[in-house]
Structure 1
């Protein structure tokens, strides 16, 4: 089956998975706020953030192994594939033990990063142990199995399993919250469904890939290559993980659990939109990896320009919709008491766009395995983010946290990472063309956003559900008209139309 067909199939099922992962947890979060209290969600956000930082080693290792599987899968080299899976299993179990140990060492410091009151019925240490246990459990239960599915461009299988298990898990949690009105009961469900999810992935993998079993050893050259990529990717991924994780830690330490929960309500919407767009990245990165292994850099650069145009076209529209619907949606969902000022919304919308500016370039960076080359840039971004968080939160509160992520992401993340990717893969001579195009897309989006805000401001106010719909419709109409007027005669626009026509034709052939 072609790379394009695999990518579109992965996008389709991945999108279903993302919709489920947005709507169901959203309903569950709403229930917890109204039935138990918003401070409990502050604890959830804090503990998840801590464990995400500890869990960064897995992000590096799993991605490096998936990268190492691209070529042997393309060449059908069963011996190397089996050896890699065996190596993956050993290291995963080792990492699980290390993360559990580090998590225990962090426990004495929990009370120092929580400002203000803690729910009286909660023992933060018991609760933290439950979160930690759920995090490390997967390392010992077939977590390595999904790497072969992802590398073989069948991320749709993982998406379907994830969607089903999430629906069941959240249904059980909703029932328990209604019946017991207790946060411990809610948290205890997580490890149970981690076990079920990993076991189901194992069964599916064994069914579709029975010839790939854990046996043999990788040679020293491959081991050194993986080790180098793991270290580089671990540092590379730390940057993305640290953004929200450090935000929550600073908010908890300086402003308290209530502010963490309110901020995370906004961030939930942001990550929901990010995750929908992330379906595209996750769905096509394996296909890009296959293309990098078989095609020239010149051919891949032409594809890159087309994908970037399409992606930024979508990102611009999503940014404007976020900007104009954030506040009315939060008012409808939670009410005025749980809302942040509009200037925070402007900053979060800008942050979203800056994050998306580097996504397509990031896909090629990941597919080419350039994580080691990104190590210094990543460390610098983390340092800049932490320093700016420390400075800004004292003077700007929640806005300072968003600005810290926005500035570090653009100046160090986007610009620095782009330089590395073009230096080591696409060629430095193409970097200026890429940056110029991103600047044009950026200012185009700003101009259209200002126009949309003006039209909405003079269009009158409806009751909330209809006001949100009105704003979405106005945004889409103005955005598509303006983008068509600006781009319809360009090569990128015409190439994008041809790409979608051929892709849809191939997608219709998928059984």
Structure 2
């Protein structure tokens, strides 16, 4: 199957899965808000982030090995694949033990991470946490098998399994909340369904790849092992730094403000992630295609495709960012009520970071697919340190929660400046001047459209209701895409995307 066809299938199933999970997640969140306390919502959000922090124990082994699999998979080298998977399995079993150990050691400190938990006792806080920990640790015993289907550009298999699991879990949890209003049963339901899913996945992938059960897999050569561990060591720094930058905001909110505020922010993140996941499906689905492209095509071809994906990311992330800037808080008010709204300054900061994160997503995906981890291995650590220092310092000023996200923006911009220089020099042998010129061009275009749409929204949304809200959705869609088509419709990147879409539609017709 070709790269484009594989990416298209992954994207199509990704969208179906995202629609299903987004809808059921909104229903589940609404039921949760009306039947359980804001403190429990905050605890749920905080613990999810605590376990995300613990996931840094993976130390990038998965990413490094996925890169190593692209070549053997493309060449059909079954024995080599078995050797890599053997290494992967051992590594992940060790990781599971590390996560369990660190997770248990963290339990006595939960009371410092959860400020003002309301009526929730320390005993309940601890038991809730152990359920979260079980879900995380158990996932490592099957996670390594997904690397093979992803290296084969069959990401849709994992997407479909996760979608079915999410829908089943959420439906049962909705019934649990309405009938019993019990947070323990809510969490145990998720743990039980997830466990059944992991058992099924393990057996399913064993049947799909029967050679994974072979006992005669040969160890990798010293050179091959050294290459994997060299990249893994570099990824350790990336992983730790990314966790310090991306996963600590909710923990700082829970520790320095109060745990219920984590739930408020999580409502915003649910909406942002539900929409942005549609965007991410495209870019995450093509990362394995990037790996195949790098293994088989020239640097000029790689650079050409990189520019296409970068252009598309700027368009899509710019569009969604403008929409969020204008419509996110009104949507929260319409769905759940004014009482769940957070300060506008904090919302703008969250979305500013969202835009710049989108601006570097193609860089990160390409760098991962190319296995370029060494040149900037300390960068993520610097970013993480900057984020923690600034966020903790600013949250204790009158800025409050807004200060946390100022730290996140500043730390993220460090990568927006340095990564293009590294990637362009290492992967393409070019200077990154053109990248920064394009960045400024796309940013000015987005801000212009934002100001125009902001002015119009002041008129349309002067009376907030669902009719006016959807009118504003149409206005933003028409203005943003119209302006971008006028500005960039003649570019080579747009012509490539248009030709691909046209080709797909003609084949279906």
1:273: which partner in 2? Answer: 275
Write the distance in 2 (CA, Å) between the matches of 1:136 and 1:351.
30
**Residues 304, 63 of structure 1: CA spacing in aligned structure 2 closer, same or farther, 3 A cutoff?**
same
Deviations along 1:330-379, one digit per CA (max 9) or x if unpaired, are 10122111101222222222121111000111111110011233211111
- Tell me if structure 1 keeps the 8 A contact 2:69–2:81: yes
1:502: which partner in 2? Answer: 503
2:92: which partner in 1? Answer: 92
Matched, 1:447 2:448: yes
Matched, 1:469 2:470: yes
Deviations along 1:305-352, one digit per CA (max 9) or x if unpaired, are 112112211111111111111111110122111101222222222121
1:399: which partner in 2? Answer: 402
Write the distance in 2 (CA, Å) between the matches of 1:15 and 1:59.
29
1:66: which partner in 2? Answer: 66
User: What does residue range 86-485 of structure 1 map to in structure 2 within 5 Å?
Assistant: 86-120=86-120, 123-140=124-141, 142-214=142-214, 215-395=217-397, 396-410=399-413, 412-429=414-431, 431-459=432-460, 461-485=462-486
Tell me the CA shift for residue 476 of structure 1: 0.6
Tell me the CA shift for residue 26 of structure 1: 2.3
CA RMSD between the two structures:
1.8
Write the distance in 1 (CA, Å) between the matches of 2:228 and 2:472.
49
- Tell me if structure 2 keeps the 8 A contact 1:24–1:170: yes
Write the distance in 1 (CA, Å) between the matches of 2:416 and 2:193.
37
1:13: which partner in 2? Answer: 13
**Residues 492, 355 of structure 1: CA spacing in aligned structure 2 closer, same or farther, 3 A cutoff?**
same
Deviations along 1:1-27, one digit per CA (max 9) or x if unpaired, are 110000011001011222223222222
Which piece of structure 1 moves more, 121-130 or 383-392?
121-130
Tell me the CA shift for residue 176 of structure 1: 1.4
Write the distance in 1 (CA, Å) between the matches of 2:182 and 2:304.
55
Question: What is the number of residues matched between the two proteins?
Answer: 505
- Tell me if structure 2 keeps the 8 A contact 1:169–1:193: yes
- Tell me if structure 2 keeps the 8 A contact 1:252–1:260: yes
- Tell me if structure 1 keeps the 8 A contact 2:349–2:406: yes
- Tell me if structure 2 keeps the 8 A contact 1:78–1:212: no
Tell me the CA shift for residue 505 of structure 1: 5.5
**Residues 33, 459 of structure 1: CA spacing in aligned structure 2 closer, same or farther, 3 A cutoff?**
closer
Query: Normalising to structure 2: TM-score of the pair?
Result: 0.95
Tell me the CA shift for residue 72 of structure 1: 0.3
1:29: which partner in 2? Answer: 29
Write the distance in 2 (CA, Å) between the matches of 1:463 and 1:342.
17
**Residues 281, 484 of structure 1: CA spacing in aligned structure 2 closer, same or farther, 3 A cutoff?**
closer
Which piece of structure 1 moves more, 232-241 or 376-385?
232-241
- Tell me if structure 1 keeps the 8 A contact 2:253–2:262: yes
- Tell me if structure 2 keeps the 8 A contact 1:6–1:153: yes
> Please, which runs of 5 or more residues in structure 1 have no aligned partner?
none
Tell me the CA shift for residue 244 of structure 1: 4.1
Tell me the CA shift for residue 139 of structure 1: 1.9
Which piece of structure 1 moves more, 460-469 or 354-363?
460-469
**Residues 209, 353 of structure 1: CA spacing in aligned structure 2 closer, same or farther, 3 A cutoff?**
same
Write the distance in 2 (CA, Å) between the matches of 1:372 and 1:26.
41
- Tell me if structure 1 keeps the 8 A contact 2:461–2:469: no
Tell me the CA shift for residue 62 of structure 1: 1.5
SS of residue matched to 1:120: coil
Write the distance in 2 (CA, Å) between the matches of 1:499 and 1:203.
37
SS of residue matched to 1:123: helix
Write the distance in 2 (CA, Å) between the matches of 1:460 and 1:34.
26
Write the distance in 2 (CA, Å) between the matches of 1:45 and 1:298.
44
- Tell me if structure 1 keeps the 8 A contact 2:330–2:464: no
Tell me the CA shift for residue 472 of structure 1: 0.7
SS of residue matched to 1:117: coil
Deviations along 1:77-120, one digit per CA (max 9) or x if unpaired, are 11110111111111111110111000111112111222223433
- Tell me if structure 1 keeps the 8 A contact 2:243–2:384: no
Deviations along 1:243-299, one digit per CA (max 9) or x if unpaired, are 342111111111111111111111222222232211112210001100001112221
**Residues 448, 465 of structure 1: CA spacing in aligned structure 2 closer, same or farther, 3 A cutoff?**
same
- Tell me if structure 1 keeps the 8 A contact 2:67–2:369: yes
- Tell me if structure 1 keeps the 8 A contact 2:241–2:385: no
